Structure 1
Amino acid sequence: MRAFRRVLRIPALAAVVLACAVLLTAVGIAIGPHSKEALFAVDRERSDVALDLSPGAQRTEVYDNVGNEIGILRYDIDRQLVQIDEVPDDVLATLLAVEDNKFWLHNGVDIRAISRAMIQNLTSGAITQGGSTITQQIVKLRIVGNESSFSRKIREAVLAARLEEQFSKEEILEFYLNEIYFGNGAYGLQAAAETYFGKNVSQLDVGDAAFLAGLIRSPGIYDGFDDMDIVGKRRSMSLQSAQDAGIIDSEDRERFEERGLPDRNRSPQRTDETLKRDYFLDEVTEALLAHPALGETYQERFAKVYNGGLRVWTTFDPTLQRQMEEAVLEVLPDGSDDFEVAVASVDPTSGAVRAFIGGPEFADFQFNLVTQGSRQPGSSFKTYVLAAAIEKAGLYPFDTISGVGPCTFPNPPNVDYEVSNFNDNEGVVGTVQYAVLKSSNCGFVRLGLRTGLDNVVEVANRLLGRDLENSFRPYLSMSLGAQEVTPLEQAVAYAAIANGGLRMEPHFITR
């Protein structure tokens, strides 16, 4: 923490109350009926209002398994907290030179500035000038609001004094830097640095700070990056304030004046622009929104996920994701217009979902084939028939099974179930191992019947994580993969086989 020089001052609240009393007495005739209202406000704010500097809504950041940011989640507020030590000294000095050049000296209220403003306001009969310090701006943002009245200004001053007695200057300034709105959806200095300059707050310079300082009083003027004339003039005024404060010289000011103004939102939405990764981030989001630890209701969880400033570490492996995408391109070098491609990779020992391709491009195709794309698995389902035959029926690879086809099976009350082997192969009576090698359709229907279709259902449900409501049905066609599964279910089930038959629940989040 910086060691800032503090000065000896009279108690803050006493100073403000005294100043208000003297000012109200001096201009009592001009105030008229407002004087009683204002003094009551001073008395009321001495103890009734609780003060705190808890942070406002913050964005959630999501990281891969090696700590790289893969995305941010936010609703309508983009904010990331920074500590005051992260802000360069000259940037901090520039912001203070523009917004509150006596910040380190006053007790929350700049008596001279507010006296001038109040005299002007009282003689005009309306609130036409502010004179607010940074501390007063915080009070206005968090407590008293924007009501245009004398009592509100008195309340603001008294509460600002109380805030300075309760918190250090460093705490107040750090809160302000994280709370203030800079337009274009950017709340706080870090979000502003990213939005306008594509930088981290530690990379800002005086020119950047002068631009941002010019936005604070009317942040909406530059929404859409349209009104460059007004923003340019405000930056010039801020640079002049920085020069007057001795932060820069005239040459520096001229150099910063020549710099172009931000013309678009430069906030990096992802550190890696791989669109396939968005499918993963979408699943992480859904997992968070369903997590009971984040709230009892969906509304509570939504607020926590999008405005709670969470730091979420996931199972995502960027190296494996890249290898997966390269493998798809190798098989389908000209794209996959005639195919739907979905790939998932699951760690057998933990159930961690390491990577997947959920579709072509998330921006254009937001249906996740890995988790939502139920398809008939075909012959890949035969693995579960084989597992059930070994576990439930006690069969061995060298036991005999008939793979002769075509074959017909009674299927009451429906018509008989007729099956052919691949390419109308006649097949043979051979071992279970041979039926597996040839992927014999007739052989596996017979193997399912010999094992018991209910046994096949039980094993398949266990490996694929199905409950009774979503259970497979003991139909003859089941042995040939006629009932739909998702690619993620398949990946998890095959991972369970690789893990000695122990299925691990798939997950996307580690902490």
Structure 2
Amino acid sequence: MNIKRILKISLWACFGLFLASCLMLGVAYWSVSASLPKVDTLSDYRPPIVTTIYADDETVISEFSQERRILVPISRIPRQLVQAFVAAEDSKFYQHRGIDLFSIVRAALKNLMAGGIRQGGSTITQQVAKSLLLTPEKKFSRKFKEAILARRMERSLSKDDILFLYLNQIYLGHGAYGVQAAAENYFDKNVGDLSLAESAMLAGLPQAPSRYSPFHNYEKAKTRQIYVLNRMVEDGYITRQQADKAVSENVVIHPRNERQIPGAAYFTEQVRRYLEERYGTEVLNTGGLKVYTTMNVAMQQAAQLAVRSNLVQHDIRRGYRGPLKTFDSDRQAEFLSKQEAIYKQPPEPGTLVEGVVIGSRDHRAIVRIGRFTGIIPLNQGGLAHKLRVVDRGQKVKFVGERATTLPIGSVVQVKIKQSSDTEMTLSLYQEPAAQGALIALAPHTGEVKALVGGYDFNRSQFNRAIQAHRLPGSAFKPLIYAAALDKGYTPATIMLDTPVIYRQKGEDGTETEWKPKNYAEKFTGVTTLRQALAQSYNVVTIKMLQDIGVGYAINYAKKLGIESPLNRDLTLALGSSAVSPMELASAYCVFANGGVLLRPVYITKVVDRHGRILESRDPADFPGGPDPDQTLINQFPRRVISPETAYLITNLMESVVQDGTGYRAKALQRPVACKTGTTNDQKDAWFVGYGPRLLAVSWVGYDQERSLGPLETGSKAAAPAWVEFMRQALENQPVEHFPVPDGIEFRPIDPATGLLVPEDASTMTVEAFAPGTAPTRYALEAQQPQAIDFFQMDMEE
């Protein structure tokens, strides 16, 4: 066979193979292309983006997301950043039509020489197709589909459209999707503020975000940055001088501040629950909602600090509960050896660490932390006050629940006060066992300004401000007093604070007796309603409840916003029915708001990713009228008691501060109305009060109900948190007085009789009355006090 024939056959064979390949390619294209997703869906690009929660001043307080992505239009992305990504990832981007054959061949050869996949030949367009329209599987079929889609995308989208998709979709490490999230992650900047050096460092990340992470591998990130800058020079985007300047720039890696306000977790969790219930988990985590809340950042932080500080002080009063554990000498040496590997330097001041008690000298416990030594003063107050260090092997001695001794070898938790190589100063620490809650509302709007549901959200997500139902004790009394005022009582009504016995037969015929008493276990006899509330007399409240009727009082409380079941007996007067702190706050808001009920609200507006208002409390946001589903505007404010009754209760509770159990609130030196609450055996302590612009509820108790300790009343256990919070919250606010309704009448009366006296009488006091309820008789005309005592009972029965 001659050469010509061989060449001819070879040519025909090659031509046949070419035709066969074309036919196979055509068949493959025809079979695959029909099943590919439509490229025009990219025009409605809706990736998962962050839902952002804002405080009342639009400070970002939290975020919820599946992928932390913040969409930015291409017009807001600096051209140098765009050019850096193009130079690093696809230098022929502006020339090719979706596929760069030269890059594919080059990558194939390099991968063949390396014996594996070392380089990809995908263009930016192909990467977008893979990310948004295909699965990430590593198969030839996927690459084939990717190429087809890339060609289609180039026909239907502009280059800027493709770059918009790419720069917002790409993963750049540490949970950041897109260039805006990455700019915040690494430099704590908006993308528009990035320098050339920072832009080049970001553009070096797509190839391997973890390997080139500026957080973990700064040198590798720097090497990659230099590569990107050189590519930009080669492609003519920047000059060599610009590149050299960027290389020499000291790029500071500045992690973004976590968008979670310290101490706001209980509030934001309440908002999250509402959003999840209303819109669903997927919309919450991917929908890019903007949620504007009522929280005031300064108040929230003040509330959290007040609750924590108050619980720590209560815990100190209760005493040290003992060491975490005790070690023999062998286990102590092993423990300290492990610590030496951890603590190469003395722990910083403020750090909480565990240490081992190794001895004592001069009323100071000596504690080892690794190779470092610290001392705890034992006679300067705090948890360590009057503790004694005793020999190893002795047991910890207790007085009640308070430890009085620390055996050598005790493992204790301490806080570093002063730190040095020679000797550290420490304080004994233990997390408070009791819990607390604090709610602050703006009474005229119902807006929740601060919400603390416990000592530490990270340890317990149970929100005691909303989810806990506890006995309110005497904090419930103002609701009974308000009901009585609407039944004809006045602040000057004379009552008899005298003993009374209630007898009741059970189903088995057994008779029981109830002898209610006051907290001080004594009776004062004749007293006015004002004095009875100021001193929180139990018996007077019980007698008053019996007179107005338990059913009437329950309906009255429901009208004020109490939703929990209430006991239908006289113990209701003493707060024997459990309510949540939020319920009690809502009821007191009626008094502070002049008799108008407003439900507590956390959210003022919800906006979707397109700027459409989903919910709002402002009717002006809906010029055509709101849809019924836009419920935030539907707070149904309604008058439930008269302005006069609301003012009289407020005025009575001002006396609780000035002359009664709420005396701690006088420290604010401004008008406030307050009430304490303490339950049997001091299991719950309350302090509820308000000024003209702000109301707060403070509660303290144990999750598993038990006594807070002797004398741990509402005034001692709960009031300090309330006072400290209000002091900070109102610090820069002008002093205001409660507004007085026009119908309120002020008359000079004799507090011993409740009747009128001349204005110059030595015993005169000015009392407030609702219209038409002031006394008309003078004290001199009366033969005896007009005391109301409905329980003069025959004790011999």
State TM-score, norm by structure 1. Answer: 0.80
Q: Which residue in the other structure is 1:17 paired with?
A: none
Residue 385 in 1 paired to residue 480 in 2? yes
Q: Which residue in the other structure is 2:277 paired with?
A: 290
Residue 66 of structure 1: which of 52, 57, 63 is its match? 57
Distance 2:82 2:151 in 1: 22
Does the CA-based 8 Å contact 1:55-1:179 persist in structure 2? no
Does the CA-based 8 Å contact 1:461-1:471 persist in structure 2? no
Distance 1:161 1:26 in 2: 28
Q: How does 1:263-278 map to 2 (within 5 A)?
A: 266-270=255-259, 273=261, 275-278=262-265
CA deviation after TM superposition for structure 1 residue 382, in Å: 0.1
CA deviation after TM superposition for structure 1 residue 31, in Å: 12
Does the CA-based 8 Å contact 2:264-2:301 persist in structure 1? no
Residue 318 of structure 1: which of 287, 297, 311 is its match? 297
RMSD: 3.5
Distance 1:249 1:46 in 2: 46
Write the deviation string for residues 145-170 of structure 1: whole angstroms up to 9, x where unpaired.
Answer: 33444443232122112222222322
Q: Which residue in the other structure is 1:483 paired with?
A: 577
Does the CA-based 8 Å contact 2:86-2:93 persist in structure 1? yes
Does the CA-based 8 Å contact 1:138-1:176 persist in structure 2? yes
Residue 443 of structure 2: which of 331, 348, 362 is its match? 348
Write the deviation string for residues 315-345 of structure 1: whole angstroms up to 9, x where unpaired.
Answer: 112344456568779x959755456442212
Distance 1:334 1:313 in 2: 33
Q: How does 1:356-367 map to 2 (within 5 A)?
A: 356-367=451-462
Residue 410 in 1 paired to residue 503 in 2? yes
Residues 411 and 67 (structure 1), Cα distance of their counterparts in 2 relative to 1, 3 Å cut:
farther
Q: Which residue in the other structure is 1:493 paired with?
A: 587
CA deviation after TM superposition for structure 1 residue 389, in Å: 2.2
Does the CA-based 8 Å contact 1:140-1:146 persist in structure 2? yes
Does the CA-based 8 Å contact 1:80-1:188 persist in structure 2? yes
Residue identity matched to 1:268: N
Residue identity matched to 1:436: L
Q: How does 1:79-228 map to 2 (within 5 A)?
A: 79-114=69-104, 116-117=106-107, 130-222=120-212, 225-228=215-218
Residue 308 in 1 paired to residue 287 in 2? yes
Residue 434 in 1 paired to residue 531 in 2? yes
Residues 503 and 222 (structure 1), Cα distance of their counterparts in 2 relative to 1, 3 Å cut:
farther
Distance 1:444 1:203 in 2: 66
Q: How does 1:371-382 map to 2 (within 5 A)?
A: 371-382=466-477
CA deviation after TM superposition for structure 1 residue 181, in Å: 0.5
Residue identity matched to 2:185: T
Residues 237 and 416 (structure 1), Cα distance of their counterparts in 2 relative to 1, 3 Å cut:
same
Residues 476 and 64 (structure 1), Cα distance of their counterparts in 2 relative to 1, 3 Å cut:
same
Question: SS where residue 415 of structure 1 aligns?
Answer: strand
CA deviation after TM superposition for structure 1 residue 216, in Å: 0.7
Higher strand fraction: Structure 1 or Structure 2?
2
CA deviation after TM superposition for structure 1 residue 483, in Å: 2.5
CA deviation after TM superposition for structure 1 residue 189, in Å: 0.9
Q: Which residue in the other structure is 1:55 paired with?
A: 46
CA deviation after TM superposition for structure 1 residue 43, in Å: 6.0
Write the deviation string for residues 287-328 of structure 1: whole angstroms up to 9, x where unpaired.
Answer: 21222xx1xxxxxx1111122211110011234445656877
Question: SS where residue 144 of structure 2 aligns?
Answer: helix
More displaced, 106-115 or 204-213?
106-115
Higher helix fraction: Structure 1 or Structure 2?
1
Residue identity matched to 1:286: R
Residue 474 in 1 paired to residue 568 in 2? yes
Does the CA-based 8 Å contact 2:100-2:123 persist in structure 1? yes
CA deviation after TM superposition for structure 1 residue 88, in Å: 1.7
Question: Identity of paired residues, percent?
Answer: 31
Distance 1:222 1:464 in 2: 58
More displaced, 437-446 or 407-416?
407-416
CA deviation after TM superposition for structure 1 residue 442, in Å: 0.3
Does the CA-based 8 Å contact 1:127-1:149 persist in structure 2? no
Q: Which residue in the other structure is 1:455 paired with?
A: 552
Residues 128 and 153 (structure 1), Cα distance of their counterparts in 2 relative to 1, 3 Å cut:
farther
Residues 101 and 473 (structure 1), Cα distance of their counterparts in 2 relative to 1, 3 Å cut:
same
Residues 408 and 222 (structure 1), Cα distance of their counterparts in 2 relative to 1, 3 Å cut:
farther
Does the CA-based 8 Å contact 2:562-2:584 persist in structure 1? no
CA deviation after TM superposition for structure 1 residue 199, in Å: 1.8
Question: SS where residue 490 of structure 2 aligns?
Answer: coil
Q: Which residue in the other structure is 2:714 paired with?
A: none
Does the CA-based 8 Å contact 1:243-1:249 persist in structure 2? yes
Q: Which residue in the other structure is 1:420 paired with?
A: 517
Distance 1:313 1:167 in 2: 36
Q: Which residue in the other structure is 1:16 paired with?
A: none
Does the CA-based 8 Å contact 2:471-2:579 persist in structure 1? yes
Residue identity matched to 1:64: A
Does the CA-based 8 Å contact 1:408-1:418 persist in structure 2? yes
Residue 24 of structure 2: which of 36, 52, 56 is its match? 36
Distance 2:443 2:488 in 1: 25
**Tell me, which stretches of 5 or more residues in structure 2 are unaligned?**
1-12, 317-433, 606-797
CA deviation after TM superposition for structure 1 residue 356, in Å: 2.8
Residue identity matched to 1:276: G
Residue identity matched to 1:316: M
* Higher RCO (CA < 8 A, seq sep 6+): 1
Question: SS where residue 372 of structure 1 aligns?
Answer: coil
**Tell me, which stretches of 5 or more residues in structure 1 are unaligned?**
1-24, 295-300
Distance 2:546 2:91 in 1: 86
CA deviation after TM superposition for structure 1 residue 182, in Å: 0.8
Distance 1:453 1:41 in 2: 83
Distance 1:432 1:464 in 2: 24
Distance 2:454 2:246 in 1: 46
Distance 1:129 1:35 in 2: 30
Distance 1:144 1:106 in 2: 21
Question: SS where residue 423 of structure 1 aligns?
Answer: coil
